[in-house]
């Protein structure tokens, strides 16, 4: 898939198009101000340079000019009011959009430092990699946090929205183009704020249906990984992680039912490969300092077994 830049100037979804439009309006107005002020400053610098014949006397002073004071008070206020009204109009247009009955629904929960992604209507739980169909039907995203304030931001799809404990926020996206779009947490939330990345994969309708069907499957029960599965079930892993169809039903960490369908570990900090997965289970802090998952202190043999089991969870 093509590498896309997290640029607000390359929108692919209605709220992001609106934000770019607004950015151009604001840039246009401020560019005019810049040129007028800068032009006057340059003109004054050149026109009123100290002449060689200067007699050193103070020039006539302008003081207490009501017209000038009124002008430099009223004009900036008018400019700010215009910027405010234009911005307010865009905000209301985006945030005020009612949710259509047939909209796709996703709940994204911010954690230190990863994103839990739930599809309540579809019975899917995943992490850090949001999948949506390309569509005129928007996807409405409910935002919640279990710990501190995070901010959900995919620049090409929509504006930033804070993710606040005990408050539910909402954003919506309607990506017009299939592809992969990158985003990140945009509110400082602790040590691994910078390691709280997310991607949005926009699929064609058929591809999305296939993804949904695969995610809805229960976890694979590969006979070759039975030993690892039993070991996993006997360890503290199950207190934090869910593997659907097993005794593991923790909700503190990411759902691992289809962990191998995800391309990264640790919310985007490293690619998900057999080697990095093994290293992660061994000691997450070595790869993501501050990660809340503890090092499991497994023997090398047990580590291999647990990793082998996790690798079957496609
Ligand atoms: Cu979560 Cu910054």
Query: What is the arithmetic mean of pLDDT over 303-311?
Result: 93
Amino acid 60: pLDDT: 83
Amino acid 57: pLDDT: 86
Amino acid 179: pLDDT: 94
Nearest CA to ligand 1 atom 1: 150
* Band of pLDDT at residue 4, cut at 50, 70 and 90: low
Q: Which CA distances in Å does 255 have to 64, 172, 297?
A: 70, 24, 21
For residue 151, report the distance from its CA to the centre of ligand 1, in Å.
Answer: 6
Least confident stretch, 49-53, 177-181, 293-297: 49-53
For residue 292, report the distance from its CA to the centre of ligand 1, in Å.
Answer: 14
Phi-psi region of 109 (alpha: psi -120 to 50; beta: other; left: phi over 0): beta
For residue 288, report the distance from its CA to the centre of ligand 1, in Å.
Answer: 14
Query: What is the arithmetic mean of pLDDT over 181-209?
Result: 95
d(CA 276, CA 57): 76
Give the strand pairing for 129-133 and 197-203.
parallel
For residue 71, report the distance from its CA to the centre of ligand 1, in Å.
Answer: 44
pLDDT by residue (tens digit) across 138-159? 999 999 999 999 999 999 999 9
Q: Which atom of ligand 1 is nearest to the CA of 150?
A: 1
Q: Which CA distances in Å does 217 have to 105, 107, 109, 128, 238?
A: 19, 20, 22, 19, 19
Q: Which atom of ligand 1 is nearest to the CA of 190?
A: 2
Amino acid 294: pLDDT: 92
Q: Which atom of ligand 1 is nearest to the CA of 113?
A: 1
Q: Which atom of ligand 1 is nearest to the CA of 193?
A: 2
Query: What is the arithmetic mean of pLDDT over 9-21?
Result: 94
Amino acid 100: pLDDT: 92
Q: Which atom of ligand 1 is nearest to the CA of 192?
A: 2
Pick from 179, 166, 115: which is nearest to 141 by CA? Answer: 115
The pLDDT mean for the chain works out to: 93
Query: What is the arithmetic mean of pLDDT over 106-111?
Result: 97
pLDDT by residue (tens digit) across 218-271? 888 888 889 999 999 999 899 999 999 888 889 999 999 999 999 999 999 999
Amino acid 3: pLDDT: 53
d(CA 94, CA 243): 37
pLDDT at 2 over 50: no
* Band of pLDDT at residue 1, cut at 50, 70 and 90: very low
Name residues contacting ligand 1 (CB within 6 A).
110, 113, 150, 185, 187-189, 193, 196
For residue 187, report the distance from its CA to the centre of ligand 1, in Å.
Answer: 5
pLDDT at 62 over 90: no
Query: What is the arithmetic mean of pLDDT over 83-99?
Result: 94
For residue 111, report the distance from its CA to the centre of ligand 1, in Å.
Answer: 8
pLDDT by residue (tens digit) across 271-287? 999 999 999 999 999 99
Residue 181 CB neighbour total at 10 angstroms: 26
Strand partners, 165: 145
């Amino acid at each position: 898939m093509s590498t896309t830049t997290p640029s607000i100037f390359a929108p692919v979804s209605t709220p992001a198009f609106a934000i770019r439009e607004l950015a151009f309006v604001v840039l246009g107005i401020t560019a005019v101000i810049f040129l007028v002020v800068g032009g006057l400053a340059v003109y004054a610098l050149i026109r009123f340079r100290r002449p060689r014949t200067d007699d050193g006397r103070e020039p006539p002073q302008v003081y207490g000019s009501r017209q000038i004071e009124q002008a430099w008070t009223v004009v900036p206020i008018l400019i700010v009011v215009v910027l405010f009204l234009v911005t307010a109009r865009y905000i209301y247009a985006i945030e005020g959009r009612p949710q259509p009955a047939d909209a796709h629904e996703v709940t994204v929960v911010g954690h230190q430092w990863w994103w839990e992604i739930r599809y309540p209507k579809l019975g899917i739980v995943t992490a850090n990699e949001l999948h949506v169909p390309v569509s005129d039907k928007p996807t409405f995203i409910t935002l919640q946090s279990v710990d501190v304030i995070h901010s959900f931001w995919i620049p090409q799809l929509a504006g930033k929205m804070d993710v606040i404990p005990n408050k539910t926020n909402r954003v919506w996206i309607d990506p017009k183009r299939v592809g992969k779009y990158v985003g990140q947490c945009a509110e400082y939330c602790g040590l691994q704020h910078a390691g709280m990345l997310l991607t949005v994969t926009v699929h064609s309708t058929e591809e999305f249906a296939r993804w949904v069907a695969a995610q809805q499957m229960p976890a694979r029960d590969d006979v070759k990984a039975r030993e690892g599965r039993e070991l996993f079930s006997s360890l503290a892993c199950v207190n934090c992680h869910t593997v659907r169809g097993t005794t593991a039903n923790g909700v503190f960490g990411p759902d691992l039912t289809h962990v191998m369908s995800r391309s990264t570990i640790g919310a985007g900090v490293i690619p998900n490969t057999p080697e990095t997965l093994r290293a992660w289970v061994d000691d997450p802090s070595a790869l993501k300092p501050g990660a809340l998952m503890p090092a499991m202190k497994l023997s090398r043999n047990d580590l291999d077994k647990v990793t082998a089991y996790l690798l079957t969870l496609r």
